Structure 1
Amino acid sequence: MIENQNRKIKYLDETLENLNIKNIKAKDLDEIIDIIADEIFEIKITTDKDEIKDLIKKREMMGNTVIPGSNIALLHTRSDSILVPYIGIYRLVNPVKMRSIGFSYEDVDTILVMIARKKEDNTILEMLGEISIALVDDEEFKDTLKTGSIDDVKNIIIKILNKN
């Protein structure tokens, strides 16, 4: 049990070390994905930005990336080209319409990106899953993603993960 907790703390530290918040200007989802993939390539999170672009686009085509009523989208994937797990928050200068539930569209102004390796440790996958659940259940988390500082976001992620 203690070893599991220590592993969780180690992975959390590593993941939060690379946490990134960036304000971006993009006209559509394709441009957003290009910016995100370029960014994580530049900061050495991935070795293959084109693969990341393709994987995120394929995941988006499957639908349900917009959290209804929140103006937040979750873009996530898993890839062997990822060197370390990554969480990024991208705040859009101008909202972009994205497909929500069914045939509806929503103006999205905040994108949460979570990317892990294909052969990821279960502890990390559980942590990312808890963060995903908080996107639906936790209003404070959603507000912090939209307006909080990097320290605010780190603190609320730690709070979310310490609930379990």
Structure 2
Amino acid sequence: MSLTNVYHLRRVADTSAKACLICYKPSTSVMITPDNKDFFYVCPAHLQDRHFCSPIIDAESEAARLKEQEMAEEIEKVKKEYEEKQKRKKERAKQSDKDEKDKDKGKKNDKDDSKDKESTDSKTNDEKERDEKGNETKPENGPRIFALHKTFYQMRIDRLRGIEMARRNQERMKNPSLFPSVPTKDL
């Protein structure tokens, strides 16, 4: 039986959590081979352990991920600059409107308008922050493909061999020709 030493990290729902291979605590992280022959649950903390497994880093995907991060940062920077420019335009427009108003009426109304403006600005900022936090998805920072170290890999191979041997023994036990026949001659 050939088993490649390449395991992909997958996540399962919290309700499907099972015991970790190492510490037996409930875990939602699953290590699985690409051909789905072997899988086991493991805690994310054990993936950081250099004596358990080591990440297999694909240079192309890593470069693509870095490029994507840079693009996202650049987009955020441009958005912020645009929002600041729009804010300045609004402030200039309001300043020109204030200058045009009568001084008598303007003094009382300006104070009320400024209070209203501050409250609406704070509400819109709060709403924007909530929307941004709600729409964010937690990006996967760590690697997703691992190679087990030799002792753990050998343990997985031994386990699969044991399962295969048990299956073969079960089939042999069902075969009646395996057992010796009853003697037919008298001695």
- Is the pair's TM-score, using the shorter chain for normalization, greater than 0.5? no
**Quick check: which one's strand share is greater?**
1
After TM superposition, the score normalised by the length of structure 2 is 0.22
After TM superposition, the score normalised by the length of structure 1 is 0.24
Larger Rg: 2
